[in-house]
Structure 1
């Protein structure tokens, strides 16, 4: 048996004993070191399961790939050390330092055949849809989920690669090129990951909208050039002033708030692009004429694809992505997750960027 943090339903998260998984053919057994707490995990605790959407989060009926349903072990942002490899595994050995790309996909649907594993018809996530999770003492996963870490990247920083890859992917599929201006809506973990990616790719005009004074400071520390407060500033007018009176080339929505989206659409120049990263709890309103008469585009972003984790790790290792460890605002033990982790994130989210859980030895 082993210890794990298990989700049982709304407002029901338990630190308990569960069976220790065994390593089989094509699998890798990992001892998690550090695991981040994600806002996506907070939502099911509030009773929001994003029902009817893909990927299936905390399924209450068997997931089509894992066959698992609630109760489920949490944790999809994690790093660790390989303990054992199964038959047929050739890329890893015991002792290797790794992080986990948690997308679960069938490799059979049309999206998967095109390499878009993030758009799989049966999509899910390790730590949200089955196969265990990083908030445990051991986890066994298919080899394709496991990513090697460069020697100069610590394990705690490697636990940040998952959220950083979301921002990296958003910028990668956007039309961004050097010289473009970008508006980032929201200074939470994903907004900050977009800032990091834009900086690493050479953006020299990053504008961020945020209300929280603490998150404004984080955005500035991570490289934003201009910080606007939507409760005080005219976002559309200020974005024009900061972009040759034409509007920004693109806006990244990492907040999912109607008022912010409405402003962002008008802040983007003709033939500019709005990139949506945020998950929405309900339908939003968008005036088509605001898009039509300026030939603006709106695109959705679904997490990341194969290769994004490796590119983020290379950017960290080479120094193009800097000071990412500053995203870590709190460290706790596995037995502190309920009170010191999830509840703290809900009560004090403006002061927290990323709470890391010491899942194993907590070595770096």
Structure 2
């Protein structure tokens, strides 16, 4: 079996003679078709942070590097374990998206229905347990979401990042018709714009300096585009919202400017949703929150229900994310034309997919 294995920063290896994983009696075996390269994958390629280092295995998988990458996965079911009884109408040959979150199921957050806050949480493709950048992967039944015929396998691999956005929008409690600010229009920021449109939000102010991302933000429903290198974002946002500021802002950039601008832009008693994963600690003046009773909330990944909501919105046409896919590369070119391209041609790409569909039925 082929698999793209992570040994450490700048050390990815396409191995071609790995043993094919056996489908356990309580597992579902999938042949991946398309796998998105996530910002976290790219971060780990440059500086190992989340992938467990050799000798320090992840508590849920008991694995450490090398691991097989890939957690934005679509594919086809090729085998169902003999003791699997909770798949509903799913069967061999069905096209699916994979929910990659790993959780312990026993900690208080897990028991309370928040597996994304599990004390030992992990991900397929980052924490061991297999990864999508391989010919086969075996997962638990609850991780398998059937794709309707109207959703292509390419779009199926976008369900995971769209679910991150759907969860963040849900966390914000924004109401139909209300204005919002989205700072940063990479894959997650663009996904949030689409999800805001899908739920009927009002004006969407998008902030980014990259022309291609500005254009896509407008295509996906942003009503105003601001370049933070040319204007005072918080001042412009207040002007666009009658002097008050929007009730909700999403920080998808994770830089000092985005933190300052989102906090200062929202109205009194407004909400800032942090979706970004920060590279470094940053200074924060709590008075900017306290003096206006603003709320600063972290939003982390998703829950099972978010996958279902995204697939339903794709089915009904409320989400149409195909334009996010800016390139597709083969597994044997995933390093050069995938990871390296995202580093050296960052402004050219939004979502880059690894295409394994030549071996998918």
The TM-score normalised by the length of structure 2 is 0.96
Q: CA deviation at 1:48?
A: 3.8
Give 1:183's aligned residue.
Answer: 181
On the 8 A contact 2:21/2:138 being kept in 1, the answer is yes
Give 1:27's aligned residue.
Answer: 27
1:1-364 aligned at under 5 Å gives the runs 2-17=1-16, 18-49=18-49, 56-60=50-54, 61-90=56-85, 91=87, 92-322=90-320, 324-361=321-358
On the 8 A contact 2:234/2:261 being kept in 1, the answer is yes
Distance in 2 of aligned mates of 1:222 and 1:23: 40
SS at match of 1:140: strand
Distance in 2 of aligned mates of 1:195 and 1:160: 14
On the 8 A contact 1:132/1:140 being kept in 2, the answer is yes
Q: CA deviation at 1:7?
A: 0.4
Q: CA deviation at 1:260?
A: 1.7
Distance in 1 of aligned mates of 2:306 and 2:272: 21
SS at match of 2:222: coil
On the 8 A contact 2:76/2:360 being kept in 1, the answer is no
- Gapped runs of 5+ residues in structure 2? none
Distance in 1 of aligned mates of 2:48 and 2:264: 30
CA deviation map 1:157-189 (0-9, x unaligned) = 100000011111000111200121110010100
SS at match of 2:93: coil
CA deviation map 1:87-126 (0-9, x unaligned) = 2213132101111000000110000001101000110000
Distance in 2 of aligned mates of 1:317 and 1:357: 23
Distance in 2 of aligned mates of 1:347 and 1:284: 26
CA deviation map 1:179-227 (0-9, x unaligned) = 2111001010000010011000101200011011111111111110000
Q: CA deviation at 1:363?
A: 6.1
Distance in 1 of aligned mates of 2:26 and 2:210: 46
On the 8 A contact 1:134/1:359 being kept in 2, the answer is no
On the 8 A contact 1:104/1:126 being kept in 2, the answer is yes
Distance in 2 of aligned mates of 1:162 and 1:57: 19
Moved more, 129-138 or 40-49: 40-49
The TM-score normalised by the length of structure 1 is 0.96
Q: CA deviation at 1:360?
A: 3.5
Distance in 2 of aligned mates of 1:190 and 1:77: 13
Give 1:53's aligned residue.
Answer: none
Q: CA deviation at 1:148?
A: 1.0
Relative distance call for 1:333 and 1:132 in structure 2 (3 A) is: same
Distance in 2 of aligned mates of 1:48 and 1:66: 18
On the 8 A contact 1:137/1:360 being kept in 2, the answer is no
On the 8 A contact 1:59/1:129 being kept in 2, the answer is no
Distance in 1 of aligned mates of 2:71 and 2:92: 21
Distance in 2 of aligned mates of 1:124 and 1:360: 26
Q: CA deviation at 1:57?
A: 3.2
Distance in 1 of aligned mates of 2:171 and 2:288: 22
Distance in 2 of aligned mates of 1:338 and 1:152: 31
Distance in 1 of aligned mates of 2:79 and 2:24: 10
